Amino acid sequence: MESTKILMVCLGNICRSPLAQGILNSKITSNTFVDSAGTAAYHVGNPPDPRSTEIAKQKGIDISQYRARKFTKEDFTKFDQIFVMDQSNFEDVIRLAETKAEHDKVSLILPFEQEVPDPYYGGKEGFEYCYSLLDKACDQIIEKMKL
């Protein structure tokens, strides 16, 4: 069976989207491929932020081998669903969409226009909060997409 391909997107691809990728990967048993990318290139090639790696590790999830990459137009072809963390990510991704089908693949990862706040400039609590939001969001994705 052809696998479902899901892409998690944030700004730097070192804090929120690698966490989302690790959490969803840890929950699925089905034939699903999960990747992540950033809309900015600042951290391309870098491992996740140590604060994300640590919170994931506390939950038994290893994201240390992930490496940041930049979102590209080709991702619209490669992935079935693209989940973004905040409105700014949404706008940056949508700007590259050329068709309605591409546009329709993109949505905020949280329901009701909620955002996963950027934890980069804050403390550890911000990463714990992100984790809790993403953990629930991944459960909802699994239910909705029947993964």
Q: Which residues bind ligand 4NP (CB under 6 A)?
A: 10-16, 38, 42, 118, 120
Distance CA 25, CA 49 (A): 18
16, 49, 51, 75: the catalytic one is: 16
Q: CB-wise, 29 or 36, nearer to ligand 4NP?
A: 36
The whole-angstrom separation of Cα 99 and Cα 78 is: 14
* Closer residue to ligand 4NP (CB): 28 or 134: 134
- What CA–CA distance (Å, rounded) separates 84 from 93? 8
Q: How far apart are CA 2 and CA 69, in angstroms?
A: 24
Closest contact distance (angstroms) between CB of 49 and ligand 4NP is 7
Residues 103/94, Cβ–Cβ less than 8 Å: yes
Nearer to ligand 4NP, 6 or 11 (CB): 11
Catalytic residues: 10, 16, 118
